[in-house]
């Protein structure tokens, strides 16, 4: 009798593990196939909120995506290091040329020309930056702007955020009595933000400067140098950039800052709207000058 009673008692089945709905899984798979990590993270977050019982399954999919992405990045970095090790110093350069001009006639005769060229090479541990600029402007036959500058900056990466740098720079601005100014500097830099759409770097260190003036004896000085470099990718085709450099010593100081908005047009061509600020101070020669320039220029990348 007891045997019949036990035999007639229904057996309790073990609870089945929660299953992620096919529609939700399809959305997650679509995000994963796009390779967009922020999009995958957002889809995963909402999927867990809507189906908390399937949290473990969703997190397993997300973890597998992150691991595959990390492995692909490690492979890409290894291939790039191998390629850089085989290449010559003249390979793997990229840069841009910036050109602008303005011409006005009539009640006033005005001519302005601007050109700059910059290049950058990223190596395994070392990177190099080259920059050159020329600015000329005449109003009614009088030269109001006459500047030229060139810069070479090698960098040695110490860790993912910190680097050491050297700097060799030439400047010419006779309208503020600088016939030629040569600068040699060393220092350290730190990347405050290194996100995909936002990068911020600061630098600082000592500098030695030799200045040839138009009227007077050449002189040398020890200065401190500080700089800021910010790039914010506002939209896929629009970037906001802010660069600034300041030199200060006992009797002299000068700085240069540029705020620019770059919009990609077609292929290698971009349009730049920029606001340029220059400051020059020399107590001994009585110079205290602040100049600003707004311009629109065409950029060609290479």
- Indicate if 68 and 203 belong to the same structural domain: no
- Indicate if 76 and 137 belong to the same structural domain: no
The total number of residues written for the chain in this structure: 302
Band (231; pLDDT cuts 50, 70, 90):
very high
Angle between helices 22-34 and 55-86 (to 10 degrees): 10
Q: Domain holding 166: CATH number?
A: 2.40.160.40
- Indicate if 202 and 77 belong to the same structural domain: no
Residue 4 resides in a domain: no
| Closest to 37 measured CA to CA, from 66, 14, 15 | 66
pLDDT of 5 = 46
pLDDT of 16 = 55
Listed ranges 118-132, 157-171, 270-284; the one with the highest mean pLDDT: 157-171
Residue 33 resides in a domain: yes
What is the C-alpha radius of gyration for the chain, rounded to an integer number of angstroms?
Answer: 30
Q: What is the mean pLDDT of residues 26-33?
A: 90
Q: What is the pTM assigned to this prediction?
A: 0.74
- Indicate if 76 and 209 belong to the same structural domain: no
Q: CA angle, 116 as apex, 125 and 80 as ends, to 5°?
A: 25
pLDDT of 2 = 45
List phi, psi (to 5°) of 74.
Answer: -65, -40
Burial class (CB within 10 angstroms; exposed 0-12, middle 13-18, buried 19+) of 24: middle
Q: What is the mean pLDDT of residues 106-128?
A: 89
DSSP state of 86: H
Residue 152 resides in a domain: yes
pLDDT of 227 = 98
Q: Show the tokens assigned to 128.
A: 């190099």
- Indicate if 161 and 19 belong to the same structural domain: no
C-alpha to C-alpha distance for 47 and 220, rounded to whole angstroms:
65
Band (149; pLDDT cuts 50, 70, 90):
very high
Domain assignment of residue 278, given as a range: 96-301
pLDDT at 50 over 50: yes
């Amino acid at each position: 009798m007891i045997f019949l009673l036990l035999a007639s008692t229904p057996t309790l089945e073990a609870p089945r593990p929660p299953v992620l709905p096919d529609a939700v899984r399809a959305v997650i798979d679509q995000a994963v196939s796009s390779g967009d990590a922020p999009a995958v993270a957002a889809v995963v977050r909402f999927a867990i909120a809507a189906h908390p019982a399937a949290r473990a399954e969703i997190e397993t999919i997300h973890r597998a995506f992150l691991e595959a992405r990390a492995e692909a990045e490690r492979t890409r970095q290894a291939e790039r290091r191998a390629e850089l090790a085989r290449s010559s110093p003249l390979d793997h350069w990229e840069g841009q040329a910036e050109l602008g001009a303005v011409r006005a006639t009539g009640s006033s005769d005005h001519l302005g020309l601007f050109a700059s060229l910059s290049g950058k090479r990223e190596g395994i541990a070392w990177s190099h930056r080259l920059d050159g600029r020329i600015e000329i402007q005449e109003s009614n036959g009088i030269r109001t702007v006459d500047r030229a500058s060139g810069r070479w900056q090698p960098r040695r990466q110490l860790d993912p955020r910190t680097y050491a740098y050297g700097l060799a720079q030439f400047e010419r601005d006779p309208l503020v009595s600088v016939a030629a100014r040569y600068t040699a500097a060393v220092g350290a830099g730190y990347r405050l933000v290194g996100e995909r759409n936002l990068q911020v770097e600061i630098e600082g260190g000592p500098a030695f400067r030799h200045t040839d003036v138009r009227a007077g004896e050449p002189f040398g000085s020890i200065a401190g140098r500080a700089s800021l470099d910010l790039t914010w990718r506002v939209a896929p085709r629009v970037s906001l950039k802010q660069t600034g450099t300041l030199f200060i010593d006992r009797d002299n100081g000068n700085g240069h800052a540029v705020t620019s908005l770059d919009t990609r047009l077609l292929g290698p061509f971009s349009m730049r709207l920029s606001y340029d600020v220059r400051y020059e101070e020399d107590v001994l020669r009585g110079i205290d000058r602040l100049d600003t320039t707004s311009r629109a220029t065409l950029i060609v990348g290479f």
